Amino acid sequence: MQSEMKSTSPAWQALAELCRAAQIEWPGETTLQMDGDDPVLPNQLRIGAVGAASHAAVGLAAAKLHRIRGGEAQRIAVNVPEAVASLRASHFLTIDGAKPKRPWDDMSGFYRVKHDRWIFLHCNFPNLRDRAAALLGCSPARAEVERACAAWEGEALETAMHAAGGCAAYVRTMMEWRRTPQHLQASTLPILEITRIGDAQAEPLPVAERPLSGVRALDLTRVIAGPACGRSLAEHGADVLKVSRPDLAHSGLLDIDSGVGKLATYLDFRDPIQAEQFKALIRTGDVFLQSYRPGSLASHGYGPEDIAAIRPGIVVATLSAWGHQGPWSGRRGYDTIVQAATGVSDLCGNGSEPAHMPVAALDYIGGNLLTLGIMTALARRATEGGSWLVRVSLLQTQQWLLGQGLLEAAALKGVSAEIPAEVTAPFIREVASSDGLVRYLGPVLSMSGTPLRADRPPVPLGTNPPLWP
């Protein structure tokens, strides 16, 4: 790096940690600029510094891939306020001038339990809502849920909810979280993991216009973090095919935001004929991205080693909530759930009740970590061969975020709860789609030689055939 790396600002320190974790080596000619500092929004966590660092690391990895492909050195830039805006990207989505309904079920939220404590219920998917109501023995009406939760001890309800197939988190303090078996086992995990899981011939990348031109990525993810990674891959030139099923819960029109640049198909690999179509896509693909709980796909014959056996040289990238080790590794979890369980919601509260961060930091930063891991693995495949596994979790992302320290509460005085329009205006994009005119927040990462762009409009789930373009 050039002299910019000598800065000791929080963003640069976070970037240094991330680069060490990913073992990134970048061309000396690459220049990087990161300006600005927290707080951008009233929150004590350094969401701007870590968000900017995660974008910058993706830029460095993309620049390296481009150099491997014969490209020129680049100038990379990302600013802290813009990075914070990207952590609430769906907030800026409009379709024909209107904001889509937020995929937030009325039953989701914080509820009091015994001993004046709190629990958070995640009910944004119908199956999770119905299982929670069944366990509580009430209708999904909020007043009834409040009465039912008040009769439970918090940790007991959390445990029972997960055993019943629902999703909940007892609101702990950070000290209480540090005493849990899950923290004690998962706290040793690195920010992200990039591991060789099989042998394969090196696959040099041909000269191309963009870092990921010609790379084919299957996207089997839902909600925010995984889909955000898939969109980022598309914005760097990859052909990304979103794979879903008609019976799976989804995030409604907000999938349009994360679907920018992608194709989308339906496949049910439980059907023998469709399973063969699925395997054909894997055999001719480069990246397999998924966010099912650890072990879920392996039970169907699509674990990382299974995928590598089908397609030697593939990069398998997995996202989980809690990491792949510890007693909670198989639990459901989302950004909000991880915040509640680990003390962040307690920190963000007002003293009388908990609250979430003002951005989906774990989701979007976690998506950037996935992108970074995939690009790094592709570079290794090009030079040394092998099949690769990339692992990221929301919990590991949060551990990295908390490791940057907290801002003093006094520093938040007078900080606006909204990001000024002049920060986001240069990044707003428009594209015509089958759902209408889509306006969305485009990439905030600037790259001089390979600017990020989406070549395809977002499409509804299941629009395209199960074929590569």
DSSP-derived 3-state class of residue 375: helix
254 in any annotated domain? no
Cα 113 from Cα 152, distance rounded (Å): 6
Cβ(312)–Cβ(387) below 8 Å: yes
What stretch of H or E contains 440?
strand 436-441
166-170, 200-204, 250-254, 422-426: lowest mean pLDDT where?
250-254
Looking at residues 103-110, what average pLDDT do you find? 90
Percent of the chain with pLDDT over 90: 89
Stretch 288-292: mean pLDDT: 95
Residue 1: the pLDDT is 44
In this prediction, residues 146-160 reach a mean pLDDT of 97
User: Does 144 map to a domain?
Assistant: yes
Number of domains the chain is built from: 1
Give DSSP secondary structure letters for 10-69: HHHHHHHHHHHHHT----TT-EEEEE--S-SSS-SB-HHHHHHHHHHHHHHHHHHHHHHT
Contacts for 240 with CB less than 8 Å, ≥ 6 apart: 217, 219, 230, 231, 233, 234, 261, 262, 263
pLDDT at res. 257: 93
- The pLDDT, as a whole number, for residue 2 is 43
What's the confidence (pLDDT) of residue 4? 46
In the predicted model, is pLDDT for residue 68 greater than 70?
yes
Instruction: Give the N- to C-terminal CA distance of the chain in Å, as an integer.
Output: 37
CATH number at residue 172: 3.30.1540
**Per-residue three-class SS string for 217-250:** EEEECCCCHHHHHHHHHHHCCCEEEEEECCCCCC
CA distances from 158 to 22, 113, 271, 336, 343 (A): 34, 11, 35, 14, 15
Residue 254 has pLDDT above 80, yes or no: no
Name the pTM for this structure.
0.95
Average pLDDT over residues 139-157: 96
Q: Is residue 94 part of a domain?
A: no
Residue 435 corresponds to which amino acid? D
pLDDT on residue 5: 47
CA-to-CA dists, residue 411 to 79, 404, 418, angstroms = 19, 16, 16
Higher pLDDT, 195 or 435: 195
pLDDT surpassing 50 at residue 237: yes
Give SS3 for 336. Answer: helix
Q: Is residue 56 one of the residues assigned to a domain?
A: no
Q: Which of 13-27, 85-99, 454-468 has the lowest mean pLDDT?
A: 13-27
Q: Edge-to-edge strands of the sheet including 428-433?
A: 94-95, 436-441, 428-433
Q: Are 12 and 57 in contact (CB under 8 A)?
A: no
Reported as a single tens digit per residue, the pLDDT across 331-347 is 999 999 999 999 999 99
Phi and psi at 410, nearest 5°, equal: -65, -25
What residues are paired with 263 via a beta bridge?
A: 241
Report if residue 131 sits inside a domain. yes
Two structure tokens written together for 439: 């306006």
pLDDT per residue as tens digits for the range 352-383: 999 999 999 999 999 999 999 999 999 999 99
pLDDT in tens, 302-317: 999 999 999 999 999 9
For position 7, what pLDDT does the model report?
Answer: 61
The HSE-up count of residue 50 (CA atoms within 13 Å, CB side) is 27
Contacts of 351 (CB under 8 A, 6+ apart): none
Residue 285 and residue 323: Cα distance in Å, rounded?
26
Average pLDDT, the chain: 94
The sign of the dihedral angle between the CA atoms of 266, 268, 273, 275 is positive
In a domain, 229, yes or no: no
Q: Is the pLDDT of residue 156 over 80?
A: yes
In a domain, 329, yes or no: no
Report pLDDT digits (tens) over 202-214.
999 999 999 999 9
Residue 250 pLDDT more than 90? no
Any domain includes 145: yes
Q: Is the dihedral of CA 454, 460, 462, 465 positive or negative?
A: negative
Q: Taking the alpha carbons of 62, 438, 262, 318 in that order, is the dihedral positive or negative?
A: positive
**Tokens matching residue 268:** 């049910």
What does residue 416 show for φ and ψ, rounded to 5 degrees?
-70, 150
Helix axes 361-384, 10-22, angle to 10 degrees: 40
Domain region containing 127: 109-186
